[in-house]
Structure 1
Amino acid sequence: MDKVKHVLGVSGGKDSAALAVYMRDNYPELDIEYFFTDTGKELEEVYTYLNYLEGYLGKPIQRINPDRDFDFWLKQHNDYLPSPQARWCTIKMKLKPFQEWVQKFLDEGYEVHSYVAIRADEPYRTGYDSNDENLIVELPFRNDGIDKAGVMEILENSGLGLPEYYQWRTRSGCTFCFFQRKIEWVGLLEKHPEAFKEAMEYEKEALAHQSPFTWSERESLEELSRPERIAQIKADHEKRLEKMKKRIKVNPLRPDGEPELDMDDIYGVGKVCVMCHK
């Protein structure tokens, strides 16, 4: 096919950033269009990191915006918050804008190759499931044997490093992502209190409309933000951290001898949205 388009979505997370770097450095002959589906509710650190990534790539990352904002879709869903059981935010604000954007290329007769950052150590994950034979999902990391350690090496060698929010959270995407762990909600409260307050207001309105879900499982953000609850969450986190440190091997190349752990190491990856988290 003469008309071929290469696209790669970045989320503001480490894996998709590393894939963008990897493709630029190892497949320079491909003219890749980079895109980011922007809900308008992302962390500030995500936008900062995308700017750094653009500098490395030497080309812009196209922002794809949904045709309606979060408030609109919340009303359409009777003020029920999105949840792992009802991920309408991913569908309406991530998948749908991508589908509409890429459909224009398909309608013009292009064969579109979409590169997705699923690693070689993630056999349980799949990419976007396309019904169009001309939209081909490519998994370079899986095909080339790049695992989590390989991703970290790519980012370190590029000089980009990790997004700043990795100091307290491993979820990119919306500030109020329901996949956050309790300690990450505490991090949001401490790092971005206004964003936490906004999430709390959404939750209060949803509960007033009999929403069956809260942002965090089995407790409201109002309950989670109480000082005694924060202290308990932090204490539980420290116990998990110390337990994990005892279980893993120390890297002798680190001067302080401390193992490098992120939230996924401590709590497990769990369920995530590929379009948001990767």
Structure 2
Amino acid sequence: MVKEKHVLGISGGKDSSALAVYMKVARPEIVVEYFFTDTGKELPEVYEYLDRLEGFLGKPITRLNPDRDFDFWLRQYNTFLPSANTRWCTRQLKLRPFESWIKGFVKDGYRVFSYVAIRADEESRSGYRSPDPNIEVIFPFREDGIDKEGVFELLDNVGLGLPSYYDWRSRSGCTFCFFQQKIEWVGLLETHPEAYDEAISYEKTAIEHGSPFTWSQGESLIELRRPERVEQIKRDHERRVERRRKVIESPLRSNQLVDIDELYGSSKPCVVCHK
């Protein structure tokens, strides 16, 4: 018989955490190894939530630490910041450690099944797919028709709820993720000012070396943190929220939680980072 290994990546976000819960509750016959690729620049709330999730799962979530950190790769890319068009952070800090880890299983003769938390209501999204025929990607939520409401129910039913950063941000991942909307940068400034200052230092160095990118499109973080700019961003955000609430009829919880990506119609962020 071919040996099998079942793996599931946890980002610290609601969907991947709910999938971990789902696999334990609905498919207990499958022995799953859970992993988290740690960039070292994650929100502290992510680590806290991972600890809570481990308590429910009754087993550790393997931390895959890249052998070279963000600062190393930033130097390799001539201090140019990652962006939506050049996602070297995802490639080097998330995919590279994951691929190295599962290739070890394949080398040992395993067929690897990787479970990805793309929901039934996300028809346009696709997950990581390996060219290796010994690595198969599975989408349990799509197969079983579980949507956003189902994700909330799974997390609520076991007492986990949502990670606390959902109070101000719609994604897990690095504190300075370039996919953040401006209101999320304001949230970082007010919740973790030391992380915001670190992001500024990276941005200043990048600009000094000719990088065409800032973390937030169209303005630097120094400009964004000006009090009058912060208030403007907050006012714009509240107007968007109110407009969305006026067209929502369902009282279900997912409609009460503001999904910032949906609210702003952003480009598709990295599934491997923040699902």
TM-score bucket (shorter structure): over 0.9
Residue aligning to 2:272: 275
In 2, Cα distance between equivalents of 1:243 and 1:53: 35
Q: Is the 8 A contact 1:168 1:184 kept in 2?
A: yes
Q: Is the 8 A contact 1:250 1:259 kept in 2?
A: no
Residue aligning to 1:73: 73
User: Structure 1 segments of 4 or more deviating over 4 A?
Assistant: none
Deviation string for 1:118-174 (max 9, x for gaps)?
A: 001111111112111110000000010001111111111111000000000011000
Residue aligning to 1:185: 185
Within 5 Å, give how 1:1-278 maps onto structure 2: 1-251=1-251, 259-268=256-265, 270-278=267-275
Over aligned residue pairs, what C-alpha RMSD do you find?
A: 1.3
Q: Is the 8 A contact 1:155 1:161 kept in 2?
A: yes
For these two proteins, the number of residue pairs brought into alignment is 274
In 2, Cα distance between equivalents of 1:152 and 1:231: 31
Deviation string for 1:196-225 (max 9, x for gaps)?
A: 000000000000001010000011000000
Deviation string for 1:236-263 (max 9, x for gaps)?
A: 0010011001010141x78xxx944332
In 2, Cα distance between equivalents of 1:216 and 1:22: 35
Structure 2 gaps of 5+ residues are none
In structure 2, what residue type is equivalent to 1:55? G
In 2, Cα distance between equivalents of 1:56 and 1:265: 30
TM-score under structure 2 normalisation? 0.97
In 2, Cα distance between equivalents of 1:75 and 1:4: 39
Distance 1:148 1:136, change over 3 A: same
- Matched position secondary structure for 2:7: strand
Over the matched positions of the two proteins, sequence identity in percent amounts to: 65
- Matched position secondary structure for 1:35: strand
In 1, Cα distance between equivalents of 2:134 and 2:112: 6
TM-score under structure 1 normalisation? 0.96
In structure 1, what residue type is equivalent to 2:258? L
Q: Is the 8 A contact 2:6 2:30 kept in 1?
A: yes
Structure 1 gaps of 5+ residues are none
In 2, Cα distance between equivalents of 1:237 and 1:25: 38
